[in-house]
Structure 1
Amino acid sequence: MNAPNADAELAFAVTEARAAELAAVPTLRFAVRVSDTTGVPIQSITLSTAIRIAPAKRRYSKRQAALLADLFGAPSRWVDTMRPLTWARVTTVVPAFTGEIVADLPVECGHDNELAVAKYFHAVRADEVPLQFLFSGTIFHTDRQGSLRTRRISWSSEAPFALPAEVWHDAVSGPHGHRWLRLSGDRFDALCAYRSRRGLTDWDAVVDALTAGEENGTAT
Protein backbone atom coordinates (compact mmCIF):
# COMPACT_ATOMS: atom_id res chain seq x y z
CA MET A 1 0.00 0.00 0.00
CA ASN A 2 1.36 3.46 -0.82
CA ALA A 3 2.54 5.66 2.01
CA PRO A 4 0.22 8.65 2.68
CA ASN A 5 2.91 11.16 1.72
CA ALA A 6 4.34 9.16 -1.18
CA ASP A 7 6.24 11.08 -3.83
CA ALA A 8 5.54 10.44 -7.49
CA GLU A 9 7.79 7.85 -9.11
CA LEU A 10 7.85 8.18 -12.89
CA ALA A 11 8.72 5.77 -15.67
CA PHE A 12 9.05 6.76 -19.33
CA ALA A 13 8.57 4.96 -22.63
CA VAL A 14 8.65 6.30 -26.18
CA THR A 15 5.97 4.50 -28.16
CA GLU A 16 5.63 6.19 -31.55
CA ALA A 17 7.11 8.74 -33.96
CA ARG A 18 5.34 10.45 -36.84
CA ALA A 19 5.89 13.42 -39.13
CA ALA A 20 4.03 16.49 -37.89
CA GLU A 21 1.39 18.00 -40.14
CA LEU A 22 1.08 21.76 -40.65
CA ALA A 23 4.41 22.46 -38.91
CA ALA A 24 6.36 25.57 -39.88
CA VAL A 25 9.55 23.50 -40.21
CA PRO A 26 10.08 19.73 -40.65
CA THR A 27 9.15 18.21 -37.29
CA LEU A 28 8.71 14.77 -35.77
CA ARG A 29 6.24 14.16 -32.97
CA PHE A 30 7.23 11.50 -30.47
CA ALA A 31 4.62 9.93 -28.19
CA VAL A 32 6.08 9.64 -24.68
CA ARG A 33 4.17 7.53 -22.17
CA VAL A 34 4.66 8.85 -18.63
CA SER A 35 3.61 6.45 -15.87
CA ASP A 36 3.40 6.96 -12.11
CA THR A 37 3.15 3.87 -9.92
CA THR A 38 2.18 5.64 -6.67
CA GLY A 39 -1.23 6.90 -7.77
CA VAL A 40 -0.70 10.44 -6.47
CA PRO A 41 -2.35 13.20 -8.56
CA ILE A 42 0.21 14.87 -10.81
CA GLN A 43 -0.52 18.57 -11.29
CA SER A 44 2.05 19.09 -14.05
CA ILE A 45 5.57 18.19 -15.11
CA THR A 46 8.14 20.52 -16.57
CA LEU A 47 9.88 17.92 -18.70
CA SER A 48 13.30 18.46 -20.27
CA THR A 49 14.37 15.84 -22.80
CA ALA A 50 17.75 15.30 -24.42
CA ILE A 51 17.65 13.12 -27.54
CA ARG A 52 20.74 11.39 -28.86
CA ILE A 53 21.47 9.00 -31.69
CA ALA A 54 23.32 5.89 -30.47
CA PRO A 55 25.10 4.89 -33.70
CA ALA A 56 27.13 2.06 -32.18
CA LYS A 57 23.94 0.09 -31.45
CA ARG A 58 23.38 -1.00 -35.08
CA ARG A 59 25.24 -2.40 -38.09
CA TYR A 60 25.95 -0.59 -41.36
CA SER A 61 26.28 -1.60 -45.01
CA LYS A 62 29.43 -0.77 -46.99
CA ARG A 63 27.62 2.11 -48.68
CA GLN A 64 26.46 3.50 -45.34
CA ALA A 65 29.95 3.12 -43.87
CA ALA A 66 31.43 5.10 -46.76
CA LEU A 67 28.92 7.91 -46.23
CA LEU A 68 29.57 7.92 -42.47
CA ALA A 69 33.32 8.37 -42.91
CA ASP A 70 32.91 12.15 -42.65
CA LEU A 71 31.50 11.68 -39.13
CA PHE A 72 33.42 8.73 -37.73
CA GLY A 73 36.34 8.01 -40.05
CA ALA A 74 37.14 4.54 -41.34
CA PRO A 75 35.22 1.59 -39.81
CA SER A 76 38.48 0.28 -38.33
CA ARG A 77 38.46 3.36 -36.04
CA TRP A 78 34.80 3.26 -35.03
CA VAL A 79 35.46 1.60 -31.70
CA ASP A 80 37.14 4.88 -30.69
CA THR A 81 35.35 7.47 -32.85
CA MET A 82 31.70 6.35 -32.93
CA ARG A 83 30.13 8.31 -30.11
CA PRO A 84 26.48 9.33 -29.50
CA LEU A 85 25.26 12.29 -31.57
CA THR A 86 23.22 14.95 -29.80
CA TRP A 87 20.07 15.60 -31.80
CA ALA A 88 17.93 17.95 -29.72
CA ARG A 89 17.03 19.29 -26.30
CA VAL A 90 13.33 19.92 -25.82
CA THR A 91 11.34 21.32 -22.88
CA THR A 92 7.61 20.72 -22.65
CA VAL A 93 4.89 20.90 -20.01
CA VAL A 94 2.99 17.68 -19.30
CA PRO A 95 -0.56 18.44 -18.07
CA ALA A 96 -2.30 17.01 -15.01
CA PHE A 97 -2.89 13.27 -14.78
CA THR A 98 -3.14 10.36 -12.40
CA GLY A 99 -1.54 7.05 -13.23
CA GLU A 100 -0.52 7.48 -16.86
CA ILE A 101 -0.53 9.95 -19.73
CA VAL A 102 0.88 10.09 -23.27
CA ALA A 103 2.68 13.37 -23.91
CA ASP A 104 3.40 14.81 -27.34
CA LEU A 105 7.07 15.73 -27.85
CA PRO A 106 7.72 17.80 -31.00
CA VAL A 107 11.31 17.68 -32.29
CA GLU A 108 12.54 19.73 -35.25
CA CYS A 109 14.46 17.87 -37.96
CA GLY A 110 17.42 20.07 -38.83
CA HIS A 111 18.25 19.52 -42.49
CA ASP A 112 21.31 21.72 -42.86
CA ASN A 113 23.75 19.24 -44.40
CA GLU A 114 26.56 20.59 -42.22
CA LEU A 115 24.84 19.24 -39.08
CA ALA A 116 26.08 15.89 -37.79
CA VAL A 117 22.55 14.51 -37.36
CA ALA A 118 21.60 15.44 -40.95
CA LYS A 119 24.80 13.80 -42.22
CA TYR A 120 23.95 10.67 -40.28
CA PHE A 121 20.43 10.43 -41.69
CA HIS A 122 21.75 11.14 -45.19
CA ALA A 123 23.81 7.96 -44.82
CA VAL A 124 21.05 5.93 -43.19
CA ARG A 125 17.92 6.00 -45.33
CA ALA A 126 16.44 2.65 -44.33
CA ASP A 127 16.25 0.37 -41.28
CA GLU A 128 16.04 1.70 -37.74
CA VAL A 129 18.02 4.41 -35.99
CA PRO A 130 18.65 3.74 -32.27
CA LEU A 131 17.75 6.76 -30.14
CA GLN A 132 18.28 7.52 -26.46
CA PHE A 133 15.84 9.80 -24.64
CA LEU A 134 17.19 11.24 -21.39
CA PHE A 135 14.66 12.96 -19.12
CA SER A 136 15.00 15.55 -16.39
CA GLY A 137 12.83 18.31 -14.96
CA THR A 138 10.42 18.91 -12.09
CA ILE A 139 7.24 17.10 -10.99
CA PHE A 140 4.47 19.09 -9.29
CA HIS A 141 2.01 16.84 -7.41
CA THR A 142 -0.16 16.62 -4.35
CA ASP A 143 0.38 14.14 -1.57
CA ARG A 144 -2.31 12.09 0.24
CA GLN A 145 -3.13 15.07 2.45
CA GLY A 146 -3.61 17.37 -0.55
CA SER A 147 -0.42 19.37 0.01
CA LEU A 148 1.52 20.49 -3.04
CA ARG A 149 4.92 18.86 -3.40
CA THR A 150 7.72 19.12 -5.94
CA ARG A 151 10.34 16.61 -6.90
CA ARG A 152 13.16 16.51 -9.40
CA ILE A 153 13.08 13.78 -12.02
CA SER A 154 15.92 11.35 -11.48
CA TRP A 155 18.96 11.91 -13.70
CA SER A 156 18.84 8.22 -14.57
CA SER A 157 15.38 8.45 -16.21
CA GLU A 158 15.75 7.44 -19.85
CA ALA A 159 14.12 5.42 -22.60
CA PRO A 160 15.37 3.86 -25.84
CA PHE A 161 13.48 4.08 -29.14
CA ALA A 162 14.13 2.54 -32.55
CA LEU A 163 13.18 5.23 -35.08
CA PRO A 164 12.45 4.00 -38.61
CA ALA A 165 14.80 6.10 -40.74
CA GLU A 166 12.13 6.66 -43.38
CA VAL A 167 10.03 8.57 -40.83
CA TRP A 168 12.75 11.24 -40.61
CA HIS A 169 13.14 11.33 -44.40
CA ASP A 170 9.38 11.62 -44.87
CA ALA A 171 9.38 14.65 -42.56
CA VAL A 172 12.21 16.50 -44.32
CA SER A 173 10.94 15.57 -47.79
CA GLY A 174 7.46 16.98 -47.22
CA PRO A 175 6.26 20.52 -48.02
CA HIS A 176 9.44 21.95 -46.45
CA GLY A 177 11.76 19.34 -47.92
CA HIS A 178 14.68 21.53 -48.92
CA ARG A 179 18.32 20.93 -48.04
CA TRP A 180 20.70 23.75 -47.10
CA LEU A 181 24.34 24.22 -48.07
CA ARG A 182 26.71 26.80 -46.62
CA LEU A 183 28.57 28.83 -49.24
CA SER A 184 30.98 31.74 -49.01
CA GLY A 185 29.75 35.06 -50.38
CA ASP A 186 32.06 34.85 -53.39
CA ARG A 187 30.83 31.42 -54.39
CA PHE A 188 27.21 32.42 -53.96
CA ASP A 189 27.80 35.46 -56.18
CA ALA A 190 29.41 33.21 -58.80
CA LEU A 191 26.39 30.88 -58.74
CA CYS A 192 24.02 33.84 -59.08
CA ALA A 193 25.96 35.06 -62.13
CA TYR A 194 25.90 31.56 -63.64
CA ARG A 195 22.15 31.32 -63.09
CA SER A 196 21.61 34.71 -64.72
CA ARG A 197 23.80 33.91 -67.75
CA ARG A 198 21.96 30.63 -68.35
CA GLY A 199 18.50 32.08 -67.73
CA LEU A 200 17.77 29.36 -65.17
CA THR A 201 14.62 29.68 -63.11
CA ASP A 202 15.64 28.12 -59.77
CA TRP A 203 18.56 26.57 -57.87
CA ASP A 204 17.55 23.01 -58.73
CA ALA A 205 17.99 23.95 -62.40
CA VAL A 206 21.44 25.39 -61.60
CA VAL A 207 22.55 22.16 -59.94
CA ASP A 208 21.09 20.08 -62.79
CA ALA A 209 23.02 22.15 -65.35
CA LEU A 210 26.28 21.91 -63.41
CA THR A 211 26.06 18.18 -62.74
CA ALA A 212 25.02 17.47 -66.36
CA GLY A 213 28.14 19.25 -67.56
CA GLU A 214 30.27 17.27 -65.12
CA GLU A 215 28.77 13.96 -66.21
CA ASN A 216 29.29 14.81 -69.87
CA GLY A 217 32.87 15.89 -69.27
CA THR A 218 32.18 19.38 -70.62
CA ALA A 219 33.03 22.73 -69.14
CA THR A 220 30.22 24.98 -67.91
Structure 2
Amino acid sequence: MTDLRFEVLDVTAEPYAAAPQLKVRLGLSEWTESRIHAIALRCQVRIEPQRRPYDEAEQNGLRALFGDRDRWKDTLRTFLWMHSNTTVQGFTGTTEIDLPLPCTYDFDVIGSRYLHALGQGEVPLVFMFSGTIFTRGIQGFGVEQVPWDREAHHAMPVSVWRQMMDFYYPNTGWLRLDHDAMGELADYRARHGLTSWEETVGHLLARREEPSTAVST
Protein backbone atom coordinates (compact mmCIF):
# COMPACT_ATOMS: atom_id res chain seq x y z
CA MET A 1 0.00 0.00 0.00
CA THR A 2 1.47 3.33 -1.03
CA ASP A 3 1.65 6.38 1.24
CA LEU A 4 1.44 9.44 -1.01
CA ARG A 5 1.86 13.02 0.29
CA PHE A 6 1.45 16.36 -1.50
CA GLU A 7 3.03 19.79 -1.01
CA VAL A 8 2.37 23.00 -2.94
CA LEU A 9 5.81 24.49 -3.58
CA ASP A 10 4.78 27.57 -5.57
CA VAL A 11 2.05 29.12 -7.70
CA THR A 12 3.07 31.30 -10.66
CA ALA A 13 1.41 33.03 -13.60
CA GLU A 14 1.79 31.25 -16.94
CA PRO A 15 2.44 33.94 -19.59
CA TYR A 16 2.26 31.81 -22.75
CA ALA A 17 -0.94 29.76 -22.51
CA ALA A 18 -3.86 30.19 -24.91
CA ALA A 19 -6.02 31.52 -22.05
CA PRO A 20 -5.34 32.79 -18.51
CA GLN A 21 -3.63 30.10 -16.50
CA LEU A 22 -1.77 29.64 -13.24
CA LYS A 23 0.90 26.99 -12.79
CA VAL A 24 1.16 25.11 -9.51
CA ARG A 25 4.46 23.45 -8.69
CA LEU A 26 3.60 20.32 -6.71
CA GLY A 27 5.94 18.17 -4.68
CA LEU A 28 4.91 14.50 -4.35
CA SER A 29 6.49 12.03 -1.97
CA GLU A 30 5.82 8.31 -1.53
CA TRP A 31 6.93 7.33 1.97
CA THR A 32 7.10 3.54 1.53
CA GLU A 33 9.57 3.85 -1.39
CA SER A 34 7.23 1.83 -3.61
CA ARG A 35 7.69 2.32 -7.34
CA ILE A 36 4.94 4.54 -8.79
CA HIS A 37 4.38 3.86 -12.48
CA ALA A 38 1.87 6.67 -13.04
CA ILE A 39 -0.88 8.66 -11.37
CA ALA A 40 -4.06 9.95 -12.99
CA LEU A 41 -4.34 12.91 -10.65
CA ARG A 42 -7.42 15.03 -9.99
CA CYS A 43 -7.48 18.14 -7.86
CA GLN A 44 -10.25 20.28 -6.44
CA VAL A 45 -9.06 23.81 -5.59
CA ARG A 46 -11.02 25.74 -2.98
CA ILE A 47 -10.66 29.27 -1.59
CA GLU A 48 -10.82 29.76 2.19
CA PRO A 49 -11.85 33.43 2.55
CA GLN A 50 -12.26 33.19 6.33
CA ARG A 51 -8.51 32.66 6.74
CA ARG A 52 -7.38 36.22 5.94
CA PRO A 53 -8.19 39.80 7.05
CA TYR A 54 -9.79 42.47 4.81
CA ASP A 55 -9.37 46.21 4.73
CA GLU A 56 -12.29 48.60 4.23
CA ALA A 57 -11.99 48.76 0.43
CA GLU A 58 -11.93 44.95 0.20
CA GLN A 59 -14.94 44.66 2.50
CA ASN A 60 -16.89 47.00 0.22
CA GLY A 61 -15.86 44.99 -2.83
CA LEU A 62 -16.98 41.73 -1.21
CA ARG A 63 -20.37 42.97 0.03
CA ALA A 64 -22.18 41.53 -3.00
CA LEU A 65 -20.71 38.08 -2.26
CA PHE A 66 -20.88 37.87 1.53
CA GLY A 67 -23.19 40.65 2.65
CA ASP A 68 -22.40 43.30 5.26
CA ARG A 69 -19.41 42.79 7.55
CA ASP A 70 -21.54 41.89 10.57
CA ARG A 71 -22.85 38.83 8.68
CA TRP A 72 -19.46 37.42 7.74
CA LYS A 73 -19.28 35.04 10.68
CA ASP A 74 -22.09 33.14 8.92
CA THR A 75 -21.44 33.85 5.24
CA LEU A 76 -17.62 33.65 4.98
CA ARG A 77 -17.18 29.99 4.08
CA THR A 78 -14.80 27.94 1.96
CA PHE A 79 -16.01 27.70 -1.65
CA LEU A 80 -15.03 25.80 -4.79
CA TRP A 81 -12.80 27.68 -7.22
CA MET A 82 -12.01 25.08 -9.89
CA HIS A 83 -11.14 21.49 -10.80
CA SER A 84 -7.91 20.46 -12.50
CA ASN A 85 -6.23 17.22 -13.51
CA THR A 86 -2.93 15.97 -14.84
CA THR A 87 -0.90 12.79 -15.32
CA VAL A 88 2.12 12.09 -13.11
CA GLN A 89 4.91 10.07 -14.68
CA GLY A 90 6.63 7.23 -12.85
CA PHE A 91 8.90 7.88 -9.87
CA THR A 92 10.29 6.40 -6.69
CA GLY A 93 10.53 8.43 -3.50
CA THR A 94 9.88 12.02 -4.54
CA THR A 95 9.11 14.04 -7.65
CA GLU A 96 7.86 17.48 -8.71
CA ILE A 97 5.22 18.25 -11.34
CA ASP A 98 3.31 21.22 -12.73
CA LEU A 99 -0.45 21.34 -12.25
CA PRO A 100 -2.23 23.78 -14.61
CA LEU A 101 -5.05 25.94 -13.25
CA PRO A 102 -7.09 27.41 -16.14
CA CYS A 103 -8.66 30.67 -14.95
CA THR A 104 -11.36 33.05 -16.14
CA TYR A 105 -12.10 36.73 -15.64
CA ASP A 106 -15.84 36.06 -16.03
CA PHE A 107 -17.55 38.01 -13.24
CA ASP A 108 -20.38 35.47 -13.15
CA VAL A 109 -17.83 33.14 -11.51
CA ILE A 110 -17.59 33.69 -7.75
CA GLY A 111 -13.83 33.08 -7.68
CA SER A 112 -13.18 35.87 -10.20
CA ARG A 113 -15.36 38.33 -8.29
CA TYR A 114 -13.66 37.45 -5.02
CA LEU A 115 -10.12 37.79 -6.40
CA HIS A 116 -10.93 41.04 -8.21
CA ALA A 117 -12.01 42.59 -4.90
CA LEU A 118 -8.69 41.88 -3.17
CA GLY A 119 -6.10 44.64 -3.09
CA GLN A 120 -3.11 42.94 -1.54
CA GLY A 121 -2.08 40.14 0.79
CA GLU A 122 -2.59 36.45 0.08
CA VAL A 123 -5.33 34.13 -1.12
CA PRO A 124 -5.76 31.11 1.20
CA LEU A 125 -6.11 28.02 -1.00
CA VAL A 126 -6.68 24.36 -0.21
CA PHE A 127 -5.89 21.68 -2.81
CA MET A 128 -7.89 18.46 -2.36
CA PHE A 129 -6.46 15.50 -4.28
CA SER A 130 -7.98 12.33 -5.67
CA GLY A 131 -7.26 9.98 -8.57
CA THR A 132 -5.78 6.61 -9.46
CA ILE A 133 -2.29 5.33 -8.62
CA PHE A 134 -0.70 2.66 -10.83
CA THR A 135 1.94 0.50 -9.12
CA ARG A 136 3.61 -2.87 -9.65
CA GLY A 137 1.36 -5.62 -8.37
CA ILE A 138 1.86 -9.36 -7.92
CA GLN A 139 0.66 -9.96 -11.45
CA GLY A 140 1.59 -6.93 -13.54
CA PHE A 141 0.24 -3.54 -12.55
CA GLY A 142 -1.57 -2.76 -9.34
CA VAL A 143 -4.22 -0.06 -9.00
CA GLU A 144 -4.95 2.07 -5.93
CA GLN A 145 -6.98 5.18 -5.26
CA VAL A 146 -5.48 8.38 -3.90
CA PRO A 147 -6.87 8.55 -0.33
CA TRP A 148 -9.74 11.02 0.06
CA ASP A 149 -7.98 12.93 2.86
CA ARG A 150 -4.95 14.04 0.82
CA GLU A 151 -4.78 17.82 0.68
CA ALA A 152 -2.35 20.74 0.82
CA HIS A 153 -2.74 24.38 1.83
CA HIS A 154 -1.05 27.34 0.18
CA ALA A 155 -1.21 31.12 0.56
CA MET A 156 -1.01 32.51 -2.98
CA PRO A 157 -0.02 36.20 -3.22
CA VAL A 158 -2.79 38.32 -4.74
CA SER A 159 -0.07 39.82 -6.95
CA VAL A 160 0.28 36.46 -8.76
CA TRP A 161 -3.39 36.57 -9.81
CA ARG A 162 -3.08 40.19 -10.92
CA GLN A 163 0.10 39.45 -12.88
CA MET A 164 -1.64 36.62 -14.73
CA MET A 165 -4.62 38.79 -15.67
CA ASP A 166 -2.26 41.56 -16.79
CA PHE A 167 -0.66 39.07 -19.20
CA TYR A 168 -4.00 38.36 -20.90
CA TYR A 169 -6.20 41.41 -20.17
CA PRO A 170 -3.82 44.33 -19.60
CA ASN A 171 -5.65 47.21 -17.89
CA THR A 172 -9.04 45.72 -18.82
CA GLY A 173 -11.78 43.52 -17.39
CA TRP A 174 -14.35 41.21 -18.93
CA LEU A 175 -18.15 41.00 -18.65
CA ARG A 176 -20.54 38.49 -20.22
CA LEU A 177 -23.94 39.79 -21.43
CA ASP A 178 -26.85 37.89 -22.92
CA HIS A 179 -27.90 38.64 -26.51
CA ASP A 180 -30.78 40.95 -25.58
CA ALA A 181 -28.66 43.10 -23.24
CA MET A 182 -25.85 43.24 -25.80
CA GLY A 183 -28.30 44.29 -28.48
CA GLU A 184 -29.70 47.10 -26.35
CA LEU A 185 -26.20 48.28 -25.47
CA ALA A 186 -25.18 48.27 -29.14
CA ASP A 187 -28.31 50.24 -30.05
CA TYR A 188 -27.59 52.78 -27.30
CA ARG A 189 -24.02 53.17 -28.56
CA ALA A 190 -25.16 53.73 -32.15
CA ARG A 191 -27.91 56.23 -31.25
CA HIS A 192 -25.53 58.35 -29.18
CA GLY A 193 -22.63 58.18 -31.64
CA LEU A 194 -20.25 56.62 -29.10
CA THR A 195 -16.98 55.19 -30.40
CA SER A 196 -16.18 52.38 -27.95
CA TRP A 197 -17.84 50.04 -25.46
CA GLU A 198 -15.91 51.69 -22.63
CA GLU A 199 -17.26 55.09 -23.65
CA THR A 200 -20.77 53.63 -23.90
CA VAL A 201 -20.71 52.21 -20.37
CA GLY A 202 -19.15 55.42 -19.05
CA HIS A 203 -21.91 57.46 -20.71
CA LEU A 204 -24.60 55.31 -19.09
CA LEU A 205 -22.98 55.54 -15.66
CA ALA A 206 -22.60 59.30 -15.91
CA ARG A 207 -26.28 59.73 -16.85
CA ARG A 208 -27.40 57.55 -13.96
CA GLU A 209 -25.47 59.70 -11.50
CA GLU A 210 -27.34 62.84 -12.62
CA PRO A 211 -29.82 63.37 -9.73
CA SER A 212 -32.81 64.66 -11.70
CA THR A 213 -32.37 63.12 -15.16
CA ALA A 214 -34.13 59.94 -16.19
CA VAL A 215 -32.00 57.51 -18.15
CA SER A 216 -33.36 56.97 -21.65
CA THR A 217 -32.48 53.90 -23.67
TM class by shorter chain equals 0.7 to 0.9
- 1:184-207 Cα offsets, whole Å, 9 max, x none, are 444322221232234444322323
Q: 1:174 to 1:208 in 2, by over 3 A?
A: farther
Partner of 1:3: none
Structure 1 position 202 matched with structure 2 position 196: yes
Give me the whole-angstrom Cα distance separating, in 2, the residues matched to 1:79 and 1:22: 40
Deviation of 1:212 after TM superposition, in Å, equals 5.1
- Identify unmatched segments of 5+ residues in structure 1: 1-6
Alignment TM-score, normalising by the size of structure 2 = 0.88
Partner of 2:25: 31
1:158 aligned residue (128, 143, 151)? 151
Give me the whole-angstrom Cα distance separating, in 2, the residues matched to 1:215 and 1:79: 34
Give me the whole-angstrom Cα distance separating, in 2, the residues matched to 1:174 and 1:209: 28
Partner of 1:79: 73
Deviation of 1:208 after TM superposition, in Å, equals 3.8
1:48 aligned residue (42, 51, 56)? 42
State the one-letter code of the partner of 1:18: T
Give me the whole-angstrom Cα distance separating, in 2, the residues matched to 1:199 and 1:174: 32
- Show the 5 A alignment for 1:1-16: 7-16=1-10
State the one-letter code of the partner of 1:100: T
- 1:93-117 Cα offsets, whole Å, 9 max, x none, are 1111111111111111221112111
Partner of 1:121: 115
Q: 1:72 to 1:16 in 2, by over 3 A?
A: same
State the one-letter code of the partner of 1:175: Y
Contact 1:19 / 1:168 at 8 angstroms: preserved in 2?
yes
Structure 1 position 190 matched with structure 2 position 184: yes
Partner of 1:4: none
- Identify unmatched segments of 5+ residues in structure 2: none
State the one-letter code of the partner of 2:58: Q
Alignment TM-score, normalising by the size of structure 1 = 0.87
Give me the whole-angstrom Cα distance separating, in 2, the residues matched to 1:184 and 1:154: 42
- 1:118-174 Cα offsets, whole Å, 9 max, x none, are 11111113110100000011111126x784222111111000000101111211222
SS of aligned partner of 1:154: coil
2:59 aligned residue (65, 73, 78)? 65
Give me the whole-angstrom Cα distance separating, in 2, the residues matched to 1:215 and 1:22: 41
Give me the whole-angstrom Cα distance separating, in 2, the residues matched to 1:179 and 1:167: 16
Partner of 1:172: 165
Q: CA RMSD in A?
A: 2.3
State the one-letter code of the partner of 1:24: A
Q: Identity of counterpart residues, as a percentage? A: 36
Structure 1 position 109 matched with structure 2 position 83: no
SS of aligned partner of 1:191: helix
SS of aligned partner of 1:162: strand
Contact 1:125 / 1:169 at 8 angstroms: preserved in 2?
no
Give me the whole-angstrom Cα distance separating, in 2, the residues matched to 1:156 and 1:98: 22
Count of aligned pairs between the two proteins: 213
SS of aligned partner of 1:120: helix
Deviation of 1:42 after TM superposition, in Å, equals 0.9
Give me the whole-angstrom Cα distance separating, in 2, the residues matched to 1:202 and 1:94: 47
